[in-house]
Structures are given as C-alpha cells and as structure tokens.
A and B are shown apart, each in its own frame.
Chain A
C-alpha cells in the first residue's frame, strides 16, 4: 500500500524529470534534424574555401592554449604544494583570481597594445624585409589570443592538480623523497604521472572553454570553428552553421572521451593517505624563483588587465554612457536571476527528488542534464536559434513573439548550458548528507517530500547557495550565447563590453568590465571550495 502510494506520488516528478532531460537535448536534436537537410552551394563553398581554415585554426588554438594553461597550472600547483617560501599561502589563493577574469575582458585590456606594436613591425620590415614583416603580423595575434586564453584559463589545471599533489600523491612523493630523489626527479617521475588524470580533467575544461570562446578570437581576428558557425548563421546559412557546429561537437566528444578514459585510470595507484605533503623550505634564491613563477601568470592573467582597466575607469568617470551601462547591468541581473531560478528548481527535482525516491529514471535524467555543459556553445546557440525561428514562423502573431521569443530562447540556452553547474554542487552536497537523518525523519512519520523539504534541503543549503552563485556568475559573464540569441536592441553588460572593445572604445568599456570582474570574484568563493571538495 505504502509502496504504491509512493509510486503514484513519484509519477509527476518522473514526468518533470523526463521533460527536463529532453529539454537539454532539444538544441542538439534540432541541429541533427536540420544539418541533414540540403545546404546547396553554400555548403560546397564553405568546404572549398573555409572549412580547412576553421579546422586547423581550432586545432592550433586548442593546442597552444591548453599547452600554456597546463604548463602554468601544473608548475604553479607543484610549487605551492611541494615547497614552502615567503608568500606561498597568499599565492595559493591568489592563483585562482584569473578565473574571475573572463577572456574577452582581459582581451579588452590588451587589445590596444596590439596597435602599439606598429613601430616594431616597421622595424622588422626595415631589418628583415617584407616577408618577415608579413609573417610577424600573422603570428602576433596568435601570441596574444592564445596567451590571454592560457593565462585566464590555467586555474582549471591548477585547481585539479593542487589537490592531487597535496593529498592523493603525498605518500608516494614522500617515499620518493626519502629514497633520495631530487626535486625535479620527484616531479617528473612521481608527481606528474600520478597527477595525469587530474591534468587531463583540468585540461579538458580548458579545451572546452577555448573552443567556446568567441570574444577573444574575434577581437584578434582569428577564425576557428565557433566564429565560423556564427558567420554562417549571420549570413542566413542555417544548415551550414549547423554542420559546422557538428564539427565542434565531434572535437569536444573526442576530448571528453579522453577525459573519461583517463578518469577511469584514476583508481590505480592512489593512496588513501590522509596525510598532507610536507612542504620543503626553499633557499632565498630558489624562493625568489618560485615567487616569480607564480607571480608572472598572475600578473598577466589578472593584475595587469585590472590595473589597465581601473586606469581607464578613472578617465571615463562622468561619461554619458553610464545610463546605458545601468540598463545593461539590469538586463544582466534579470537574465541571470531568471536563469538561476529555472536551473535551481530543475536541479532540485533532478537531484533531491531522485534521492527521496531513489528513482533510477530520474537518475538517468540527471545524467542527461549534466551533458549540456559539454555541448559546444555554438551548437546550443544555433539549435535554440533555429527553434525560435521555427516557433516564430509557425505561431500566429509572430511579430510580438519575435521579441519575447528571443528572451525565451536565451533562457533555454542558459538552462541547457548551465544546468550541470547547479546539479554538480547539489549532488556533491547530498553525497555528504548521511541517510540516517532522513530515515529518522521518516520513522517519525514524515512523508518523503516532507523529509526532503524539512531535513535534506536545509542540510544542503550551502550546496544550493554554491550552485546558485556559480550559475548566476556564469550567466552574468556569458558572451557567446548571449551575442547570438539576445533580443533585438538588447544588451547585457558582457555584450556591451564586447561591443565597445570591438569598436575600439576600450576606455568606455572599462567601467562595466570592472563591475563584471568584481562580480566574478564573488563567484570564486563557492567555486574554489567546491572544486577542492570535489577533488577530495
């Protein structure tokens, strides 16, 4: 009797969960459906003249950025984990700061330096001739774009390796030290191999962020796949855009497969040692080197952009753009608030209700919900965009809908992309809540939902708050989806900053850019604690 009642109470949740899971799949489904339609000459032209460029630029960019991010992230993580030197504790925390610096904002702070290089180019032409002159100009934007992305994304690698070095690998590292292995030997022969799954995990996040970037590459004139998708979309070649988006999807799927495979290997060789690695003191010379190693990426990826932006802020005080900034900020708040409400409700159904009823179906839905974070932004954008176009064309009174439909589209896109951002902390939070509390409540006669509401949710409120904050900040700083899907004549802080930078009005972009960075800093607190916990 009791069992049957539970089953019938569970049914609405199952339906909701299935709908949520399907929603996440809608954009991809839309793309698969449309991509097989004939694209005519436009696709042939793209294959003939653009596709190869998109592919090699994507590959080169990913290799460069991931390389930079891993070298910087792993080496700094090793320094602060294995050694002790003045300022170490502070640097340990500071090294997360570049996460609060969205790439397109850092790019805004650097983009004018590119113009300052003209005398250097002219010098190259005088010294080495015209071919060197042309070559240098091709290389420099790559240096800037990959450098900026690498210096703002390395904390992903830093965070994931930091925990391994400090805890999981501590025993093996201590043993190697006792056996007389030198610092470099311990690093290359013990620490690095043991951290490999963590390196791959951090690296795959870097790869994803790099492939989804639109702002940085566009500001420096590179054309990998994501801007290629949007170019085709802008030209009205919807099928072409979708096929290109599928290329991105294949890239990302390959990366995620590697990540899975490596994560599977993590079980090997991990000691359960709870002890922390004892840090060795460095002499003055080496300590200085260590501080330098950690400080350089920090300066390039955070402090230098912040310093330049804050100087421009001073210059633009009293500018007439302030009311525009305020309107854009309000739009950003409204969008982010709406998205958080949506995503959080969905996450509670998918995680909390799943716990309450132990439903396998909802668990499957939850896993599908996590997928959205792995979809390329460009693919979500064109999938949702095509859906909106479809609705506008097939719903009467389309005129007014055109506007509201695009807010709808934007929300849907955020939902798909960021649902995982709320599910993960929530499910990690539940993992730490012991079943006995809920069971005690049930024994005392509470219903499943009552126990969930009065016992479980209060216990995971920190996780809920973390999920909400992360999701809020992610939506607030989101550029790629917002640029494509935003309603007509509608700006968020992110799109406004991007537009000003693109128009060469960097000084005017500085105030909103600083505001955005400060907000992202707030988002760092739950992120750092969460990621450290996940690594445990």
Chain B
C-alpha cells in the first residue's frame, strides 16, 4: 500500500482540487500551472460546506489533494476536524503573513479580501462613517444594506466583532444594524453596491474586490455604479478592517502531497498574485499594492489581524446572534 502511494506521488500527472472559487482568473491560474509543471489540475467546484462534507464522507478514499475555501473560519474548522495535513516549506513561510495562516501549516492564504463600507458620494459626507460601529447608530435608520446572514462573509464579519468585543456587544451591534437596514437582505455584494448607487440606501457592506470588478467592468453602466460610491476601510485607528482570505490546504488523505504543496506555492508566487490583483482585485497576500493599479488607488489600510485566528471558533456565536436579532 505504501509502495503504491509513493509510486503514485512520483508519477502524479493530475492534481484534484476541491474549490469554492470559480472565477475565470482561477482557470487561468490552473492552466498556467499545467503549462509550467505538466500536472493537470482537475477542479470540483462547490460551496465549501459541501466540499468539507464530501471530504468527510469520502475519508481515505477521497481523490482530493487540495481544499480551497474563501473563509478562514471554514479552513480553521476543517483543520481542527483533521481533514487537512500540515505542510511547511520556506516559500510558503516567506510568502504568507504569519498572523493569517494556520500556525501548524494546515492551510495558507493566497488572497486577502477586505470587508469594506461603501457610501454614496452625493449623500454621505467624508468622515461621517469611520467604521462598522457607526452603521448601527440610530441616525442611519433605513439607510444601510448588507447581504444575508447565510453568507460566509457576513458571518465572518460578525465573528470578528464577537472575538474582539464579546457576544453581548456584538449582539447590540447586530441589533442596531438590522434595525437600520434599508431592505431585508437580498442578493450578493454587487447587488448591495448597485442598490446604493440607485439611491435605495446610502451605505453598504461589501468585499472590496466587488467594487473593483464594477469599476473595471467593460459595461459603462457598471463603471458608473462603481464611481458613484466611496470606499471606506473600517476603523483605521482601532482594530482595522475585517479581512478574510482565500486559502488552500493539503487534504489529509492526498496521494500527491508534493504536487499539492507545489500548487499552493504556485498560488503565492508573484506571477499568480499579480493575476489576482489585476483581474479579481483581491489584495495580494503580502499586501504588495504595487502589483495592481486599482489597489494602489485605494491605498493602504489596517488589516484586523487581532481577531483573525478566532474567526472559526466565534462563528457559532455569530450565527446565534443573527437568529436572535432577526438578521435574515
């Protein structure tokens, strides 16, 4: 059995990736990897919870080599459950921030995703909103938009508040924000930005790259939507902006550990980081803003690294809070 496994790894011509990401840029990256290494990348796309469920039920017979998720909390929990295996290489250690990767090397981030606030330029004065806390204040009643609590992005944001300020304070914030919503949550982040542009609401919470996609869209209408809002990175003098990651880990029962590790190293290489910075407008994992014009324009911001390691463990409390305050 051991012999077979070794042989398999030496001859690896295929790499099986279970991924939550499905942008065209990802396909481009995978193709590039094949060109460079001759290893073909086979991707199974689905929501991360389904992927994890599948890893669980497949156990040792799983064909998967790499798990890619877009939420640190999900990766932390997958690691805690023993679905990933630790790998450590110099490249991975050098090219990922220590505070935002698994301490044991179960998974590594390869893009950063800042959860920012966008505000209508013509209706919200600069400086009127400094951070997430302002969105829950009574003067914003009927003016705020967020996507639903079933979204991993929303859950992670509240989890970060739970981790920083405790469950009771997080509950008060969520209560205030729910009261301030201009409509019951519907649609994705792009829909929230569009609704602010249309005048339905004045501010919205979104991942920054959705704004980047609008600002750089081939459709002039979408560009106009993007230009009508200002981007606000939360709490520069305090905790900073809640920033999640796209991360990848080697699956526990992978038969191609070497190829899988090489793949994750490839994801954090300059070449790939540049593709993401300019095509999906996510932030490079080492925050090298010189990689993309749009990112330079937005400028530097403070990443909330304090709550980051606790995103996974705080998620259940966040979900309880959503239920309590009726955040759909």
Contacts and interface: CB of A to CB of B under 8 A. Distances in A.
Contact of B320 (A45, A115, A141, A400): A45
A495 to B, nearest CB: 13
A231 B323 CA distance: 12
A50 to B, nearest CB: 6
Contacts of B328: 221, 223
Contact of A504 (B45, B182, B188, B198): B188
A205 B44 CA distance: 39
A187 interface: no
Interface stretch (A96-104, A150-158, A391-399, A429-437): A391-399
Interface in B278-328: 320, 323-324, 326, 328
A489 B57 contact: no
A133 B54 CA distance: 44
Contacts of B142: 125, 130, 133-134
16 contacts: A115-B191, A118-B195, A118-B198, A122-B199, A130-B142, A134-B142, A134-B183, A141-B184, A221-B186, A223-B328, A398-B61, A399-B57, A402-B54, A402-B57, A503-B188, A504-B191
A221 B50 CA distance: 22
B326 to A, nearest CB: 8
Contacts of A397: 61
Contacts of A399: 57-62
The 6 residue pairs across chains A and B that have the minimum distance between CB atoms:
A399-B61, A130-B142, A49-B323, A399-B58, A402-B57, A137-B183
Contact of A49 (B61, B186, B324): B324
A404 to B, nearest CB: 12
Interface in B173-191: 182-188, 191
B323 A45 contact: yes
Interface in A217-258: 221, 223, 231, 234
Nearest to A125: B142
Contacts of B183: 121, 134, 137
B184 A137 contact: yes
Given A118-B200, A504-B191, 18 more contacts: A45-B320, A49-B324, A118-B195, A118-B199, A121-B183, A125-B142, A130-B141, A133-B182, A137-B183, A221-B184, A223-B328, A231-B150, A398-B58, A399-B58, A399-B61, A488-B46, A489-B45, A504-B188
Nearest to B143: A130
B197 to A, nearest CB: 10
A118 to B, nearest CB: 5
Contacts of A130: 141-142
A134 B141 CA distance: 10
A488 B54 contact: yes
Interface of B: 44-46, 49-50, 54, 57-62, 141-142, 150, 182-188, 191, 195, 198-200, 320, 323-324, 326, 328
Nearest to B62: A399
Given A118-B195, A399-B62, A138 B184 contact: yes
A112 to B, nearest CB: 11
A489 B46 contact: yes
Nearest to A405: B57
A494 B323 CA distance: 30
A119 B195 CA distance: 10
B57 A392 contact: yes
A174 B142 CA distance: 59
Contact of B200 (A50, A121, A223, A402): A121
A502 B150 CA distance: 14
A276 to B, nearest CB: 50
Interface residues of A, number: 29
Q: Which of B186, B188, B195 counts the most A-chain CB atoms under 10 A from its CB?
A: B186
B57 A398 contact: yes
Contacts of A45: 320, 323
A319 to B, nearest CB: 15
B60 A488 contact: no
Nearest to B187: A504
Contacts of A133: 142, 182
B46 A400 contact: no
A122 B198 CA distance: 9
B200 A488 contact: no
A513 B324 CA distance: 38
A43 to B, nearest CB: 13
Contacts of A503: 188
A205 B183 CA distance: 33
Nearest to A488: B54
Q: Which of B49, B60, B182 counts the most A-chain CB atoms under 10 A from its CB?
A: B182
A321 to B, nearest CB: 13
Nearest to B325: A49
A137 to B, nearest CB: 5
A49 B324 CA distance: 6
Contact of B58 (A221, A231, A402): A402
Contacts of B326: 49
Contacts of B58: 398-399, 402
Contacts of B185: 221
Contacts of B61: 397-400
A223 B148 CA distance: 13
A137 B195 CA distance: 13
B44 to A, nearest CB: 6
Contacts of B141: 130
A469 to B, nearest CB: 34
B59 A398 contact: yes
Interface string A399-427: 11010000000000000000000000000
Nearest to A392: B57
Contacts of B191: 115, 504
Contacts of A134: 142, 182-183
A50 B323 contact: yes
A432 to B, nearest CB: 49
A402 B51 CA distance: 13
B200 A122 contact: yes
B57 A234 contact: no
Contacts of B184: 137-138, 141, 221
Contacts of A121: 183, 200
Given A133-B142, A400-B61, A489 B199 contact: no
Interface in A116-144: 118-119, 121-122, 125, 130, 133-134, 137-138, 141
Contacts of B186: 221
Contacts of A400: 61
Nearest to A140: B183
Interface in A382-396: 392
Contacts of B182: 133-134, 137
A488 B50 contact: yes
Contact of A234 (B49, B59, B320): B49
Contacts of B62: 399
Contacts of A119: 198-199
Q: Which of B50, B57, B199, B328 counts the most A-chain CB atoms under 10 A from its CB?
A: B57
B250 to A, nearest CB: 18
A228 to B, nearest CB: 12
A221 B327 CA distance: 12
A521 B198 CA distance: 39
A76 to B, nearest CB: 33
Q: Which of B54, B183, B186, B191 counts the most A-chain CB atoms under 10 A from its CB?
A: B183
